[in-house]
Amino acid sequence: MNQKFRCDCPFTSALDILGDKWILVIVKQMLLEGKETFKDFTESEEAIATNILSAKLKLLEESGIIIKTKRPNNKKTNLYLLTERGLALTPILVELAFWSDHHLRDLHPKMLNGEGLQLIRKDKAAFASFFEKKYREKLTNTLFTE
Amino acid sequence: MNQKFRCDCPFTSALDILGDKWILVIVKQMLLEGKETFKDFTESEEAIATNILSAKLKLLEESGIIIKTKRPNNKKTNLYLLTERGLALTPILVELAFWSDHHLRDLHPKMLNGEGLQLIRKDKAAFASFFEKKYREKLTNTLFTE
DNA sequence: TAAATAACTTTCAAAATGCAAGTAATAATT
DNA sequence: AATTATTACTTGCATTTTGAAAGTTATTTA
């Protein structure tokens, strides 16, 4: 399944990979909700079907956004972890949430309004680096300790 | 066709509207390439099919991202113009291009590398406000002249 | 050794996408 | 005034993607 790009425009090319209903939701779950196993994702609020999840994880791996690995002491459970390329999607997520917060509340009044959003409102970059740092710490814990 | 939101997460809710192959491409064409008529869009590099274009323009209008109008002296040609809600998508586009520029070049070597990208690299906010301003000027010209 | 769990795959129905052709209204040309 | 061209669609149909549910295999736990 080799990725095809519609044209040479950088905006469009990003959407050739990220432009769908699920890819960035999965990245969000990894970065902000700490999800890392197949089961974690199936138990999400968004309720992704297992066949779709399987296909999207494959695509994310092929695009170098995540890697698939295992813990040394567990042969069963796969771990899906963000690469640097995946972590670099954080600012996109931040801008998506910022836009929702400011422009989607009238269409979707029940939308959440927690402390995370308040930080995004006040300082997008701080939000991004907080979660990037947290994820990197988790990575070193996961990859260099049994 | 009333929009359904999967859950109350702001990230996911943004993707319920923006998460597809075409929506943000159309917004990009309006903001950066000055496209505003049905014909403009069909002539784009990305070659969107007319039935899809029609459906997506409807969706964009229903979501308050664009408005559909006409020039006073032309009853034939519809104009599709970004609203404030649509203009507010600029930072998302900027982050998408920034990510492409830094993380997609090895997968897509032919991707463009023009002066716009160089500005994004140097100053994202300047890029965004330049095009927002330009678009607002076009809007006042379009809406308040003959 | 049996039961439970994790990670899929398969099947099939439904929805979205995409190409090609057709239509209706307006505008321009002869 | 009649003909032609343009713009903005819609329709029909084939292909692709998505989604729900059930089934499979390997590993781990009791």
pLDDT, tens only, B56-105? 999 999 999 999 999 999 999 999 999 999 999 999 999 999 999 999 99
Contacts of B143 (CB under 8 A, 6+ apart): B69, B81
Contact A77, A71 (CB under 8 A): yes
- Are the Cβ atoms of B15 and A108 closer than 8 angstroms? no
pLDDT at B2: 53
A68 touches strand C (CB under 7 A): yes
What is the pLDDT of chain B when averaged over all its residues? 94
Which residues pair with residue A81 across a beta bridge? A67
pLDDT at A146: 52
- Locus of tokens 């092929």: A62
Which nucleotides along chain D are within 7 A of a protein C-beta? 6-12, 17-23, 26-28
d(CA B131, CA B114): 15
pLDDT at A2: 54
Query: Which of the four pLDDT bands, split at 50, 70 and 90, describes residue A1?
Result: very low
Q: How many residues does chain A have?
A: 146
Contacts of B131 in chain A (CB under 8 A): none
| Residue A65: how many other CB atoms lie within 10 Å | 25
pLDDT at A144: 78
Q: Which helix (H) or strand (E) holds B145?
A: none
Contact B87, B31 (CB under 8 A): yes
* Residue A125 contacts B, CB cutoff 8 Å: no
pLDDT above 70 (res B133): yes
- Are the Cβ atoms of B9 and A46 closer than 8 angstroms? yes
Q: What is the pLDDT of residues B13-70, one digit of tens each?
A: 999 999 999 999 999 999 999 999 999 999 999 999 999 999 999 999 999 999 999 9
Query: Which of the four pLDDT bands, split at 50, 70 and 90, describes residue B1?
Result: very low
Which single residue has its CA nearest the C1' atom of nucleotide D12?
Answer: B51
Which residues pair with residue B68 across a beta bridge? B80
d(CA A136, CA B52): 41
pLDDT at A130: 98
Higher pLDDT residue, B3 or B124?
Answer: B124
* Model pTM score: 0.95
pLDDT at B143: 79
Query: Which of the four pLDDT bands, split at 50, 70 and 90, describes residue A143?
Result: confident
User: Which residue in A81, A73, A25 sits closest to A53, CA to CA?
Assistant: A25
- Closest nucleotide to the alpha carbon of B43, via C1': D7
pLDDT at A9: 96
- What integer is the mean pLDDT of A15-25? 96
B15 touches strand C (CB under 7 A): no
What is the pLDDT of chain A when averaged over all its residues? 95
- Are the Cβ atoms of A99 and B14 closer than 8 angstroms? yes
Q: What is the pLDDT of residues A58-117, one digit of tens each?
A: 999 999 999 999 999 999 999 999 999 999 999 999 999 999 999 999 999 999 999 999
Closest CB to A92: pick one of B17, B92, B108.
B92
